[in-house]
Amino acid sequence: MSGPTLNDVADAAGVSYATADRVLNNRGNVAQKSIAKVRDAVERLGYVRNVAAANLSRKRVYRLAFLIPTGSNAFFNRIRGHITSLADHLSAENVTVEIVDVSAFSVEALHDSIGQLTGRDFDGVAIVGLQSDQLEQPLADLRARGVHIIGLVSDLPAAFRSAYIGIDNIVAGRTAARLTGMSHASGAGAIQTFAGALDAGDHAERLQGFRDVIAADFPRLEILDPILTKDDPAVLYDAARNALHSDPTLTAFYNVGAGNKGLINAISETKGTRPFCVLHELVEHSHMALVAGHIDVVIDQRPDVEVLRAFTLLRALIDQRDTPPMLPLMPAIFVQDNLPADPMNNPMKAQDT
């Protein structure tokens, strides 16, 4: 026996079929009284909306945007590659995608880019976010237009987005600390940390997790204040080189962000024993550095999985479906001995950092 139809809902609510359809598909121009009647009828009848049929009849097009930091950051080039590849695959399902470039670590630039989206016809947006109350108003304006918003990789202010897709960055930082502490075999040492910017939520959270574990379980290790690099490899090269030459007590490096080509180059020039080194994101040059023995550990957040989840979640939000179950995304830990054959795992090659 088939379930109730949209005609049944319209009859039970005492409205036309067209009105019931407009309510269930959020097409607007319906009185609040009629909306309440239709929703009440849906609940009483147990009507289940056939999303696939509705999308087919309406020729639903999913208009998505991804706001991604600009620059030569290899990790975000990797993200772009996954977005482009998956968008090509999903084009047959009427999914269109635009990648919007945003200046890295600039709250003002991100504020302006989000604001510019309010004049565009997007259904869903994934944003590599920053933590700033300056972003709240443009995010609220975008949501008021019915656009679904998720944070990707680095989160947005939580009250102004529907979900966050990314690893638990505190866990990632704690993992880096645990490995760094173990490398010292309970001995003393000094750890130089680096970060792109502390208003990037992922960078701040990784540092917090790192500090928590070192303080609790490896009290003989000293964590030096982070050197801020804006993920610029030239800045990171100079900072790491100066640290290596000026502080012979250094026993470890931990960079929570990108710019790692600069750090790797500085370490590769080191004569004698080098510091233990943990980085994030497996890209071509970090893969090569592990093979060459210039660094020890790479913690990767599996951007292919993050991008796939972003597409899946945005489409579910647009269709007003329950979001699919997703287990927490655990970062992968790579050392010299367990490297995959293809460090990029996507059709685009990284150029830098």
Average pLDDT rounded to a whole number, residues 52-67: 72
The residue segments making up the domain with residue 107 are 60-164+303-322
Same domain, 27 and 113: no
What's 67's domain CATH number? 3.40.50.10550
Domain count, the chain: 3
Average pLDDT rounded to a whole number, residues 92-121: 93
Same domain, 113 and 180: no
pLDDT confidence of 351, banded at 50, 70, 90?
A: very low
What's 246's domain CATH number? 3.40.50.2300
Q: How far apart are CA 173 and CA 148, in angstroms?
A: 30
Mean pLDDT computed over every residue of the chain: 89
Same domain, 185 and 157: no
Position 55 scores a pLDDT of: 53
Same domain, 211 and 253: yes
Same domain, 183 and 111: no
1: in domain: no
pTM here? 0.78
| CA dihedral over 73, 77, 83, 86, signed as positive or negative | negative
230: in domain: yes
Position 2 scores a pLDDT of: 66
Least confident segment among 163-172, 252-261, 323-332: 323-332
Bridge partners of 333, per DSSP, are 299
Same domain, 296 and 310: no
Q: Number of helices (H) and strands (E), helices first, in the chain?
A: 13, 11
Same domain, 152 and 64: yes
Position 272 scores a pLDDT of: 83
What's 20's domain CATH number? 1.10.260.40
Six-digit token pair at 118? 């309010």
Bridge partners of 125, per DSSP, are 65, 149
308: in domain: yes
Same domain, 248 and 315: no
Q: How far apart are CA 37 and CA 19, in angstroms?
A: 11
